[in-house]
């Protein structure tokens, strides 16, 4: 039977490419989202991948959703913690609410979701967890103490959980994307974008598919010996 993959924030942006990549690799895929019903409906119509609406920052909401997904689709073998938000601002302007929302959505969600699928993966002696970090969690970024802390936390979370999962045949890895050509990046003024691209050794932005291929690789049955790793997919930018 096809392995079941759950991709949080899996109906648009990078998550949509991950969901589609996993489906093309033969997985039974389920995507989650926060509230963008139109994007979810269009995605399901186009791909046939079902979408479940719940807040990944809220443990109770995650618990109800995981129970429903496992009853309707099957036990989750592959978890991709992709959902994320930004609430940028320098320290002078950063409120406690901006801090909490980014930490809870980007990092708290990894605990919530991994906690809820962990016992099942342990019992079945198979699991693949991939957490989407960021180059800004590796290098920091002006105006993003909340986001950089959350993403940096993801990298520590990944290495610690990988140690617990190793003997259970559960691998836990992270991907740290660089600048990816999504709606958010497309909104950046052309001159600023030019400067960003000039700092990327490969000379272009990443695509959502570049990230998705990494997820497909790390969640494959053959990737059994890779755990606790962070795969930097950023056109070489992490070296500068
Ligand atoms: P998008 O903003 O395009 O999509 C974010 C997704 O997360 C949406 O599906 C959204 O659902 C979902 N989401 C947000 N908050 C919640 C929540 N509380 N509960 C459930 N789902 C939620 O993001 P990207 O595709 O650009 O980014 C995907 C991941 O990659 C993020 O973790 C991001 O930090 C990371 N990343 C992105 C980079 C980039 O250049 N774009 C670079 C490095 C890392 P809905 O549509 O309903 O709002």
- pLDDT digits 0-9 by tens, 33-58: 999 999 999 999 999 999 999 999 99
CA of 83 relative to ligand 1 center, distance in Å:
4
- Give the mean pLDDT of the chain: 96
* CB-based contacts of 119, cutoff 8 Å, min separation 6: none
- 130 in Cβ contact with 80 (< 8 Å): yes
Relative to the CA of 58, which ligand 1 atom is closest? 18
Q: How far apart are the first and last CA of the chain?
A: 44
Domain layout of the chain by residue ranges: 4-180+208-231
Q: Whose CA is nearest to atom 4 of ligand 1?
A: 13
Q: Can you read off the two tokens belonging to residue 44?
A: 């399901």
Alpha carbon 69 to chain centroid, angstroms: 18
Which residue shows structure tokens 């991907």?
Answer: 175
Catalytically active residues, by annotation:
147
CA of 165 relative to ligand 1 center, distance in Å:
26
What is the complex's ipTM, to 2 decimals? 0.99
pLDDT confidence bin for 149, thresholds 50/70/90:
very high
CA of 13 relative to ligand 1 center, distance in Å:
7
**Distances from the Cα of 51 to the Cα of 8, 72, 102, angstroms:** 9, 12, 23
Relative to the CA of 31, which ligand 1 atom is closest? 9
What mean pLDDT is predicted for residues 23-28? 98
Class of the 4-180+208-231 domain? alpha beta
Q: What is the pLDDT of residue 188?
A: 79
pLDDT tens readout for residues 93-141: 999 999 999 999 999 999 999 999 999 999 999 999 999 999 999 999 8
**Distances from the Cα of 211 to the Cα of 14, 43, 69, 109, 111, angstroms:** 7, 19, 25, 20, 22
Q: What is the pLDDT of residue 1?
A: 82
Closest C-alpha among 88, 77, 200 to residue 140: 88
Q: Over 80: is that where the pLDDT of 151 sits?
A: yes
**Distances from the Cα of 209 to the Cα of 97, 135, 152, 177, angstroms:** 33, 17, 23, 11
Rg (CA), the chain: 17
pLDDT tens readout for residues 163-220: 999 999 999 999 999 999 987 788 778 888 899 899 999 999 999 999 999 999 999 9
Q: What is the pLDDT of residue 212?
A: 98
Q: C-alpha angle 79/133/19, rounded to 5°?
A: 40
Lining residues, ligand 1, CB within 6 Å: 8-9, 11-15, 32-36, 39, 55-57, 82-85, 105, 132, 134, 177, 179-180, 182, 184-185
């Amino acid at each position: 039977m096809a392995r079941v993959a759950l991709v949080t924030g899996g109906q648009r942006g990078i998550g949509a490419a991950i969901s589609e990549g996993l489906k093309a690799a033969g997985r039974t895929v389920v995507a989650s989202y926060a509230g963008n019903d139109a994007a979810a409906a269009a995605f399901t119509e186009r791909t046939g991948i079902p979408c479940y609406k719940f807040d990944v920052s809220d443990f109770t909401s995650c618990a109800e959703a995981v129970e429903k997904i496992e009853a309707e689709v099957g036990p989750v073998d592959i978890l991709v913690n992709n959902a994320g938000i930004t609430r940028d601002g320098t320290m002078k302007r950063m409120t406690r609410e901006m801090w909490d929302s980014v930490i809870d959505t980007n990092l708290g969600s990894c605990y919530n979701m991994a906690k809820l699928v962990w016992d099942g993966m342990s019992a079945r002696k198979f699991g693949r967890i991939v957490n989407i970090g960021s180059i800004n969690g590796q290098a920091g970024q002006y105006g993003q103490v909340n986001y950089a802390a959350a993403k940096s936390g993801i990298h520590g979370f990944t290495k610690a959980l990988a140690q617990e999962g190793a003997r259970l045949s559960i691998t836990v890895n992270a991907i740290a994307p660089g600048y990816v050509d999504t709606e958010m990046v497309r909104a950046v003024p052309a001159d600023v974008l030019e400067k960003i691209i000039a700092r990327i050794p490969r000379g272009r932005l990443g695509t959502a598919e570049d990230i998705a291929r990494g997820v497909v690789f790390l969640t494959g049955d053959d990737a059994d010996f890779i755990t606790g790793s962070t795969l930097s997919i950023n056109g070489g930018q992490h070296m500068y």
